Homo-oligomer: A and B are copies of this chain.
Amino acid sequence: MDAEGPKPAPTRGPLVAIGGAEDKVGDRKVLSRVVELAGGPGAVIAVLPVASMIPGQLAATYESIFESFGATVRIVRVRTRADADSPEVLATLDGASAAFFTGGAQGRIVTLLGGTKLAQKIRRAHRAGLVVAGTSAGASALCNHMIAQGRAGYAPHRQSVTMAPGLGLTKRLVVDQHFGQRHRIGRLFAAVALNPYLMGVGIDEDTAMILDAKNRVEIIGNGTVTIVDGGRILHTDIHEVADDRPAALLGLSVHVLTAGHGFDVETRVPTWPEGPEWIAAPRPSPEPHH
């Protein structure tokens, strides 16, 4: 294990992990921010509905939304691993300023893309500035260590979570989505307990975290993002408890963040908006000299 991890390239594009069910009809805070990060009107967004069994329908939905913000959309059509190695499919990414992974099943993304030229091309483009965004399953798949599946519920169990290799766009974070809505804190606790090198990021629906090139996280949207930092775990028995027993997990640091709050992955310190300014009352005038 690489305890420090390589520093991200200063040219790395923003990584946007969305907790699913982002607003698609109102002010669309989260999706409009994706377009803004990709350059605003004139952005070229490659939509990858790879996770979904209804890719055409999802692609049309996002195409219409992104175009309403002035972006151009390209649909990346991958139905087989051969598609993900084909020059025609790879070419759809040329000149894109963002890649957007829809929801579905994260296992589909990595089994179709893992080890292909398309995955490699996205990683390289990301290091050179491509915005990479994903919602729901698409958010989970962005990380190097991915939550493949898991059980709902509060208490962490040895079998709360199954991990699998993801797309590898960030090494230190493990993302979970539909977080509060689907009661997933137990499986995020379990993921962090299994390897405290990872920082858990639990993202609510209609909420996103944006990771910048300096490994700083910013929160946008209407819900919460929960950071579970296992760096100071004192003890856990998750590797030795019986399958039907809850595990103990001592010394977690937890930060519940909302829009305007952030987190520095390098220093593991959260950030928050400045408080009200302290306005000093005017000083009394000095006594006049007599």
* Partner-B contacts on A (CB < 8 A): 153-156, 179-180, 183, 185-186, 189, 204, 222-224, 226, 234-235, 237, 241, 245-258, 260-261, 270, 272
Contacts and interface: CB of A to CB of B under 8 A. Distances in A.
A258 B247 contact: yes
B235 A258 contact: no
A179 to B, nearest CB: 7
Nearest to A184: B154
B256 A254 contact: no
A261 B246 contact: no
B156 A180 contact: no
Number of this chain's copies in the assembly equals 2
A234 B272 CA distance: 9
Main secondary structure of the interface of A (DSSP, over half): loop
Nearest to A193: B256
Contact of A250 (B237, B246, B272): B272
A52 to B, nearest CB: 26
Nearest to A207: B246
B252 A253 contact: yes
A252 to B, nearest CB: 4
B246 A155 contact: no
A270 B253 contact: no
A96 to B, nearest CB: 34
B257 A224 contact: no
Given A179-B154, A185-B185, A257 B250 contact: yes
26 contacts: A154-B185, A154-B224, A154-B226, A155-B223, A155-B224, A180-B186, A183-B183, A185-B185, A204-B246, A224-B246, A234-B272, A235-B270, A237-B272, A241-B258, A247-B258, A248-B258, A248-B260, A248-B272, A249-B256, A250-B257, A251-B253, A252-B254, A252-B256, A253-B253, A253-B254, A254-B254
B155 A235 contact: no
Given A155-B204, A223-B246, A270 B251 contact: yes
